[in-house]
A and B are shown apart, each in its own frame.
Chain A
Amino acid sequence: MIAAPEVDLISLAPVLVLSVFTMLVMLMDLFIGKNKSALVLVALTGLLMAAVSSFAKTDWPVASFGGSYVVDHMSVFFTMIFCLSSALAILLSVDYNQREKIRVGEYYSLILFCTVGMIILASSTDLIMIFLGIEIVSLCLYVLAGIRRGDSRSNEAALKYFLLGAFATGFLLYGMTLLYGSTGTTKLAGIAEALSSGEALEQPLLLMGMVLLVAGFGFKVASVPFHMWTPDVYQGAPTPVTAFMAVGPKAAAFAAFFRVFTEAMPGLAPSWEMLLSIVAVITMFVGNLGAIMQTNIKRLLAYSSISHAGYILIAIIAKSSLASSALVFYMLAYAFMTFGAFGIVILLGRDGKENLELEDYSGLGFQAPLLGLAMSIFLLSLGGLPPLAGFVAKFYIFQAALNEGYVVLVVLAVLNSAISFYYYLRVIVFMYMKEPKGELKVSMTPITLLVIIIGILGTVELGLFPGPVLTLAHP
């Protein structure tokens, strides 16, 4: 006799809603004609519904499925970020896909699938679930990165991402296995319990498992030295996908990273703190240093995103509830800035010419003053200049870290911030201080502009009046 499984579908509401809408998109794609704009609406509705349904449970935290799934503060907030970032990514893609002639039906459904994966990733408290979540996200991204099939860069990005991703999956999986082997369970709470008893801490394999997990997750969040794919893939992938990759999946990976390390392995904290600190510092440095030499805006932003991963790692190291709020806030702020910046990158591209070199930005600041201003705001916010969202976010993370006493780490992060200004300013140098090569023609496509405006609003709002969001972010 099989005992009835413990099923709590209400907890699962966002996943279910979104899955349904995903399939709806796929189906509709087959039946509606050439004009696919309805799909956008459906997809956005789905995301909205998912976001709303994430509040189906309000008595956080709610654990279900035998402790493998949880609805808590972090998961809900992350769900919102995922839905936001996916919505922005879809909006960003509308004009782009038209320009680049990308099949939208599958495209949108893949983004939605990916979102499902992200939600699962952020809400799971079971290694198996986390593994599956990561794989869903990754698989969708492999495909999305290579979705411009006619473009060899896109192909290359997909292949690189895929091979390295699969390689990293091996590490991650091995790490999970060893963790499972030393504790006898795949549930995070169970692992924590086993570790807290002290007996499991003696397990020789545990440490290796932890390092393997660092490597595996490190790959997903693009932290050095597992970041190697990032610049190439960011560059090769279609721009909206790049923006999406930089925000949603990364946030999801961080959510899981945070959960696994803080919820499952607090007992091992002294050793992984050390490891992560090293990784964080190297990540910040390599990201910022690498960005300095870049001439391609997408590559530059890729390196920048690596460095941001470094900052965010500090939140994991700080591991308090303050840190989790900081992480959440950071990802939200990061979403606005990144989508805004990539939005402008997309706007500048035209048929057959993407205009991705910094040279192409010469004179932008005066020929399209508002775009220049917007780009400056995004870049300065990424650099962490007050009073913009990026600053408040960094401030929050530094707060969390200082509160736990990681002064050196924060000082290094702060120095990196200073370095990072160099390349963000470099873009501004091109926009304002170099003479334009020719006349810039910017086609102001409305939906992309909308994304940029949302980005600006978010960046400025979170910078000037972060109060309400902070209240939300704090458990």
Chain B
Amino acid sequence: MSFVSLAFLVPLFPLIGSIINGFFGLKIGKDRVSWVACAGPVMSFAVTLILLFSTFFHPEGTPYPEQSLFTWIAAGDLVIDFGFQIDPLSLVMMMVVTGVGSIIHIYSIGYMYEEYSYYRYFAYLNLFLFSMLLLVMGNNLLVMFIGWEGVGVCSYFLIGYYFEKKSACDAGVKAFVVNRVGDFAFLLGIFGIFKMFGTIDFTEVMTAAPTTLIYDGEAATLITLALFIGATGKSAQIPLYTWLPDAMEGPTPVSALIHAATMVTAGVYMVVRCSALFNMAPLTMMIIALVGGGTALFAATIGCTQWDIKRVLAYSTVSQIGYMFLACGVGAYTAAIFHLVTHAFFKACLFLGSGSVIHGMHHEQDIRKMGGLKDHFPITYVTFLVSTIAIAGIFPFSGFFSKDEILYHALMDGNVIYWGMGISGAFITAFYMFRLVFLTFHGPSHVDPHVHPHESPKVMTLPLIILAFLALTGGILGIPLIHGWHVLHNWLEPVLAFDLETALHASEVMLAEHGHHTSFAEVLHEAQNKSHNIWLEITLMIFSVGVALAGIATAWFFYIKKPELPGKLTKGQWGFDLVENKYYVDEFYDETIVKPVVKGSDLLWRQADARGVDGVVNGVAWVIKLFSRAASSFQSGFVRNYALIMVMGFIFLMIVSQIEI
């Protein structure tokens, strides 16, 4: 018996939890709700572990097992199974999702306990896990797409959890709609893949990709571009990132789980999952790298100016995911996944920490009204600091390893521009993260005297400790330098293996068939000549740690040493205003897309539809009525009129008959 047949249990447990809580949550009481809710992810985690261990013994070189539950859609030659794929990549994601998910579920018990619709929260959260697991486990694009949209909708519900707040609702809708824009492109990508491959099964597509697509061909570029746009929607990249900061309207654990650790990284996962396609499209790769790097830098700058503790973290998330895409863009998929994992740890911890603070501060989120909290929140402070150091990339915290791997690959496989963007982003990251720490936990207290800050209960701090520990040690997964020690790399190798030579050769053959003799020898040569330069890597590491420290120092200077300085410096600076207002991107979208669409629709309805299209219909009726009035107005009741009309009619017929002959 293969353990893979247990795979379906992984998403099933949260689903059951969700259904129980959703339907009976109000009746069974909060305690039972908590149990049911946490049991789901924890059991899933357990099953995932089993699957993980069974995969350790997977014979090399054989395809990874898939579990097909049933034929989902069948239309002609299109057969889509509802199936799961258990391979190293999905297992990594499943571990993250169920692991971090379990922790956050536990945390939520404490955080959400006072809520009336506690059960609803957990029902959503379990449902989210279910969708997320479908996303990562699906063995074809469409199952992935269920999860893809499912997490979107759960995110919508959870962002709008406080549905009485307008801002929360708006944020939810915004998140969903912006995600949908991405989904739109994703769908097109799926269509394109089907058109090219005749299947949407991951294994088949990825196997066929090198020999079916033409390297750098139009089809490859367009499909991957569509997929990538889909990813930008889900993973909050330029230009579709605007929903994520607003998504902070949701409860904080949600931000931790969905908007930091799991869902937003789905885009990265998808790109990695389809790496074979992306490898065929260097143009797309370039775009991905640019967008990723750009986002990393861009979001980081905004992060420096925000005052809401969660928003800072949100922009930080956007920025960190940018790094992951940067990695994808240069073909360093392992690095992307690595960063994804470590980011899940430290960012979840950061969010939960901020949640703890918010909880203890009675839902105060403005860091200007905090300060000096480290005494009130000892555990939170320590864990928060650990994660902050991790994100800043200080050795030997996890963030250091993953980020440096990305930066290294950006320089080696990409170019100095990518690296430049990355490294400047790193500096700013260190700066604004420590700005956050300093403003929140250090310095003088600005706490409202009516608020009595208090540390959170154990059920909340325990997860913090676990996550902080992971953030500290997560780097083990990818210790660099020594070949063979990069656990994650070895682990993912079979999934990401890509034979560029065969692919290029196949492309040459296909092009030749159409009379285009193109040689990809140069590309191949370039790719093969890349070698691991260990000294360069070490240099880069030292440099980037230095940069991070510089960032921390700057933050210290501005916010501890001379706390009055930032205010003075930024006052009246248009540049600062620009950044503080997030480059007015939201306003820009509002003016260029939302408002025109709304106004246009209104016009369309009131003018085009009601007056135009329906106007024609009613106009016809009106004309008929008019004619009708005319027709009966001849009926004057006077006999001689009638006779007159008869004569006129006769004459008319006379004339007609004369014309005819």
Contacts and interface: CB of A to CB of B under 8 A. Distances in A.
B661 interface: yes
A305 to B, nearest CB: 14
A164 B628 contact: no
Contacts of B656: 274-275, 278
Contacts of B654: 208, 211
A188 to B, nearest CB: 21
A107 to B, nearest CB: 25
Interface stretch (B58-66, B334-342, B412-420, B630-638): B630-638
A102 interface: no
Contact of A228 (B629, B634, B658, B661): B634
Interface string B620-661: 000011011111101101010111011011101110111011
A289 B628 contact: yes
Nearest to A224: B649
B627 A210 contact: no
Interface string B235-255: 000000000000000000000
A207 B661 contact: yes
A275 B657 contact: yes
B646 A226 contact: yes
Contacts of B642: 160, 164, 228-229
Given A160-B639, A211-B657, A290 B646 contact: no
Contacts of B637: 232
A271 interface: yes
B646 A219 contact: yes
Q: In the complex, which of the residues B627, B635, B641 has the most CB atoms of chain A within 10 Å of its own CB atom?
A: B635
Contacts of B639: 159-160, 163-164
A215 B634 CA distance: 18
A225 B646 contact: yes
Given A211-B653, A211-B657, A294-B632, A228 B646 contact: yes
Given A231-B635, A293-B629, A271 B646 contact: no
B412 to A, nearest CB: 75
Given A163-B639, A215-B653, A294-B632, A228 B645 contact: yes
B635 A171 contact: no
A289 B650 contact: no
Interface string A188-232: 000000000000000000011011101100110000111011011
A164 B649 CA distance: 14
Nearest to B648: A225
Contact of B635 (A215, A218, A228, A285): A228
B645 A289 contact: no
A215 B628 contact: no
Contacts of A167: 643, 646
A157 to B, nearest CB: 11
A203 to B, nearest CB: 12
Contacts of A271: 657, 660-661
Interface range on chain A: under 10, 10 to 19, 20 to 34, or 35 or more? Answer: 35 or more
Contacts of B650: 171, 211-212, 215
Given A212-B650, A275-B656, A292 B628 contact: yes
A225 B651 CA distance: 11
A289 B646 contact: no
B635 A225 contact: no
A120 interface: no
Main secondary structure of the interface of A (DSSP, over half): helix
Main secondary structure of the interface of B (DSSP, over half): helix
Nearest to A162: B639
B653 A292 contact: no
Interface in B593-640: 624-625, 627-632, 634-635, 637, 639
Nearest to B652: A225
Contacts of A294: 632
A279 B656 CA distance: 11
A194 to B, nearest CB: 18
B632 A290 contact: yes
A215 to B, nearest CB: 5
A168 interface: yes
Interface string B474-511: 00000000000000000000000000000000000000
A286 interface: yes
Interface string A422-453: 10000000000000000000000000000000
Contacts of A286: 631
B645 A225 contact: yes
A292 B624 contact: yes
Contacts of A163: 639, 643
Q: In the complex, which of the residues A210, A215, A225, A285 has the most CB atoms of chain B within 10 Å of its own CB atom?
A: A225
Given A164-B646, A207-B661, A229-B642, A214 B628 contact: no
A419 interface: yes
Nearest to B621: A422
Given A289-B628, A292-B624, A293-B625, A215 B646 contact: yes
A225 B634 CA distance: 10
Contacts of B658: 207
B625 to A, nearest CB: 6
Contacts of A274: 656-657, 660
Interface string A287-312: 00111111000000001000000000
B657 A210 contact: yes
A232 B635 contact: yes
A275 B654 CA distance: 9
Contacts of B661: 207, 271
A289 B635 contact: no
A64 B83 CA distance: 90
Interface in B84-116: none
Interface string A214-257: 11001100001110110110000000000000000000000000
Contact of A275 (B628, B632, B648, B653): B653
Given A164-B642, A210-B657, A275-B657, A215 B625 contact: no
A446 to B, nearest CB: 36
Contacts of A224: 649
Interface string B527-541: 000000000000000
Interface of B: 624-625, 627-632, 634-635, 637, 639, 641-643, 645-646, 648-650, 652-654, 656-658, 660-661
Q: Which 4 A/B pairs are nearest by Cβ-Cβ distance?
A: A225-B649, A228-B642, A292-B628, A289-B628
Given A164-B639, A293-B632, 6 more contacts: A208-B654, A271-B657, A289-B628, A289-B631, A293-B629, A419-B624
11 contacts: A168-B646, A214-B653, A225-B645, A225-B649, A228-B646, A274-B660, A279-B653, A285-B627, A289-B632, A292-B625, A293-B632
